Amino acid sequence: MKNIVVLVSGGGTNLQALIDAEKSGIIKSGKITTVISSNPNAYALERAKNNNIDTDVIRRKDFDTFDEYDSALTELLKRKGADLVVLAGFMTILGHKVISAFENRIINIHPALIPSFCGEGFYGLKVHEEALKKGVKISGATTHFVTEECDGGPIIMQKSVEVKNDDTPEILQRRIMENVEWKILPLSVELFCSGKIKVEDNKTIISE
């Protein structure tokens, strides 16, 4: 069983999807052992406590420099025995030390079909606002490994939904969360934990 550590900052809906997937057996090769928040008031911490999952808080502003924060987060993840780190709405940038220490072991979910509407500044509702502004007919979400290039790591899974004429950013966000994010994130986690993902030349090869 792989130890899964989930990083959060807010409400934790993707965390809840992971917890539910573990309970239902979709995630069967790993266990969520710790939830770490950048925000001490994040509701995601309550979700973790309600499910008897260990919690911790690490705030960027508690460190004088980004380098000190980067080192502290790296050590915390090592101390928690993280085999896999999952970003579930974590709103603080990861540094070189964390990314290199957990190379191809950090999974993020992005609410668009990478390489569309991704990179610096594309997060939250902004992604869906830009997709609607462009007039795309489909959108969706992407799970990928985290590298130092923002949203540029190897893609694991993608799934799309139809964009409708009367969509608002909020409606599209909800459709993508319910129909894509909450499904492909747990599946991607299980693929990793069961050893079915191999990375070659910044691409993933997924075995059956």
**Catalytic sites, residue numbers:** 110
Backbone angles phi, psi at 152, to 5 degrees: -105, 5
What is the distance between the alpha carbons of residues 84 and 86, in angstroms, rounded to a whole number?
Answer: 6
Write out the two tokens for 81: 């025995």
